[in-house]
Amino acid sequence: MRLLLCLLMTLSAAVAHATETNFLTFGAGAVVVRASVAAEGVAHVAIDGSARTRPIGIPKREPLPLTIVIELPSPTTFDHFQVPPPDEFGSNKGRHVSTLRIEGSATSADEGFSLLAEATIVQGQPDPQRFAVAEPRPVRWVRVTFVERHAPPKAPHDPHNFSELEGYGRQDPIAARADAFNGRWRYRRKGINDAPGLNIIELTQKGQDIQGCQRMGGKQTTISGTIVDGLARLIAEDEKGKHTPFTAIVLSDGQLAGVEFEGPPSAFYAAPDAGAEAPCKAPPPDNPVTEALGDGQTATLWGIHFDVDSDVLRADAKSALEQLLEALTALPAATVTIEGHTDSDGSDAHNQDLSERRAKAVVAWLVARGIDAARLAPIGKGEAEPIADNDTSAGRALNRRVEVEPRSAQTRK
């Protein structure tokens, strides 16, 4: 009985940890807002949501210590931080950061910081290493200093390595402004320390839906997407029909920041510029789903939310579902395929089953509101057709979606 109790307690702890949210990732809306030019390498490796060990700089140009500041989308009370097992094999031995100092502030990105935790990473540990917060308190900014590495560099170009910093606890609901994504921004050329360049993005927010366009290198792309928990999940489409998914969030200083997935994940920053020349040639459509299906194009919906690991529709899925219902009502001859897509967490078989059940749940919702079931074909795609990198949290968030694929010619009422 005692052994059984211990096993149950261990299982319960494992399950509880599996359902915890790592708040220090792009996918959770965390963004690096302060980093020297030397520290920009560590800035994105540390919170990309991937446990892969990668270089964060070399002693000649980026000597330790290196410091970054991360902005969170809402006040967050951390109870512990965690570092996954680093790759210490072969030439990586001794290169990983050994000491971290983690501080928090509820005031600003530049002041009010006090210690949350000091972390000493032990070599050779096969499991994630956990570091408790002595005095948990709500913070909006986290300052992380990468103090030193396990072994001194053998040469000026011997890189420092790091895997990932994870932060767990509880976070206040994200209270994004109703017009947060209305405006124009000018992209910074390379990163957080660069001046704004010539490329412009313009977004228009209506409820949880976003439309817009951007001018990049003289070429225009259209943008559509949805706000999910304060984070915009977007797709840019160029004139040739090429799609580029990306995420975005509006920071406390009005900047637009996010991650683009054209090739490897790439962070971007854009400064607000209300006076910038409008890049959009025409106003956004009233219903982008109607527009897409009417043109014979696939509509991607991130706003159809489900409970975690479930096919139960969440209450906040109503807006996106009603948008789809409106589109199918406006296109009475349309027949469509409702596709469920997941990220790669879990087994192939589990994700396939989950995606099928979620697609059927959307169909059932539409049928209950008068859409003929013969017009709707649910299908599960599981994790087979990702549109972004499954190694990062932001990429996994983009991969969890519903797509509506037209099967017949569309005729608007």
Q: Render pLDDT for 366-401 as a digit per residue (tens, 0 to 9).
A: 999 999 999 999 999 999 999 888 887 778 888 999
| Contact call for residues 78 and 138 (beta carbons, < 8 A) | no
Residue 4 makes CB contacts below 8 A (sequence gap 6+) with none
Q: Which CATH number fits domain 2-171: 2.60.120.260, 3.30.1330.60, 2.70.98.60, 2.60.40.10?
A: 2.60.120.260
| Residue 159: predicted pLDDT | 94
Residue 333 per-residue DSSP state: T
- 409 pLDDT higher than 60: no
Query: Taking the CA of residue 93 as centre, how many other CA atoms within 13 Å lie in the half-sphere pointing to its CB?
Result: 4
Domain residue spans in the chain? 2-171, 183-272, 288-406
At residue 22 the predicted structure's pLDDT band, cuts being 50, 70 and 90, is: very high
* β-bridge mates for residue 186, sequence order: 200, 271
Q: What would the mean pLDDT of 57-65 be, rounded to a whole number?
A: 94
Question: Which is the CATH superfamily of the domain at 288-406?
Answer: OmpA-like domain (3.30.1330.60)
Q: How confident is the model at residue 413 (pLDDT cuts 50, 70, 90)?
A: low
Strand partners, 184: 202
Amino acid (1-letter code) at residue 307: D
Q: Which residues lie below 8 Å from residue 372, measured CB to CB, with a gap of 6+?
A: none
Measured CA to CA, the distance from residue 413 to residue 405 in angstroms comes to 19
Q: What is the mean pLDDT of the chain?
A: 88
Omega cis (within 30) before 265: no
3-state DSSP assignment of residue 3: helix
Q: Which H or E run contains 101?
A: strand 97-105
CATH class for the region spanning 183-272 = mainly beta
Instruction: Tell me the per-residue pLDDT of 138-161, one tens digit each, with 9 for 90 and over.
Output: 999 999 999 999 999 999 999 999
How many C-beta atoms lie closer than 10 Å to residue 240's C-beta?
Answer: 7
pLDDT at residue 131, rounded to an integer = 98
Separation CA 117–CA 331 (nearest Å): 57
* Calpha distance 192→209 (Å, rounded): 27
